[in-house]
Amino acid sequence: MKNKILLLAFIFIFSSCSILIKNQTVSQNIETSEIEPEDSFQNLLGNYDIVVFDTPLGNIEFNILVELEGENLKSSFIGEEASNNFDILSTEVDEGILYINTYVKSYGANISFEIYVEGDQVTGYLADMFELQGVKNSSLESDDNIPENISSLIIGDYNITVYDVPGYGDIDVRIKIFLNKNILDSNITYFNGESWVDVTVNSIDVEDEAVFINVVDEEAGNVDLEIYFDDQNSISGFYAGLFDFSGKRIN
């Protein structure tokens, strides 16, 4: 990918003046944006997996993390090659559009990612020339109601029992909560009486003092596991808003 990035930058410089977003050098201050209120940033936070299409070198993939730093947005490339070849000058929002302005170190050129976000779907342009598409995975963001030591209080392996499920009785469930590239993720299995069965996890979110894991129930469709952390080693909550469960951290 390194050679592709460098060659692509070279093409940008000589093929279009539109890549020069403004006269600016790396020695100038690198700032984040305050164009819009902080609340308007929430739908933009996350880990972006982006593909830039039909460049002279084919399709090129980028992975970018967008997060809050204080009251402003901050973005960073995930992956050593992109990080070594690009400096991110600023991350801005204008009328709901995310602009990530970058500096290509080897060729002294400024180019911009113009990103439109609809839910978890991403479209836009690189350098006003090449279309891009991708997905945005929500990332875990800080909140006054979320304990600061998130790793020790939430992340771990748990065994729980869901009580009095009609037609099934008590059901044993295993839950693993972990961070994957700064994104909160989960694996879940349940015991059907004969073997452990994988559960499809749609999403995981932290709200107030609870973790909500949205899963696919074969009979009920998409439902939530609503998890409360009673102490360092004990959890409890509700499955599908109806059935109580409790359990223990095992790791």
DSSP for 43-77, please give it. Answer: GG-EEEEEEEEEETTEEEEEEEEEEEETTEEEEEE
Residue 15: its H or E element: helix 2-15
Give the count of beta carbons closer than 10 Å to the beta carbon of residue 70: 9
The pLDDT, as a whole number, for residue 24 is: 35
Strands 97-104 and 243-249: unpaired
Cα 8 to Cα 13: distance, rounded to the nearest angstrom: 9
The pLDDT, as a whole number, for residue 196 is: 95
Provide the residue-wise pLDDT of the chain in tens; the chain has 251 residues: 544 554 455 445 434 333 333 333 332 334 444 444 445 677 888 889 899 999 877 898 898 988 888 778 999 988 777 777 889 999 999 999 999 999 988 778 899 999 999 888 999 999 899 999 998 876 544 444 444 445 456 888 999 999 999 989 999 999 999 877 667 789 999 999 999 999 999 988 887 778 999 999 988 899 999 999 887 789 999 999 999 999 999 88
Q: Does the global pTM surpass 0.85? A: no
Taking the mean position of all CA atoms in its chain, how far away is CA 159?
Answer: 26
What residue type is 205 in one-letter code? D
The pLDDT, as a whole number, for residue 139 is: 53
C-alpha angle 14-128-65 in degrees, rounded to nearest 5: 110
What residue type is 66 in one-letter code? V
The pLDDT, as a whole number, for residue 21 is: 35
Residue 3: its H or E element: helix 2-15
Q: What is the DSSP letter of 141?
A: -
Taking the mean position of all CA atoms in its chain, how far away is CA 76?
Answer: 12
- Kindly list the structural domains of the chain, giving each domain's residue range(s) and its CATH number in brackets, ordered by start: 2-137 (2.40.128), 150-249 (2.40.128.120)
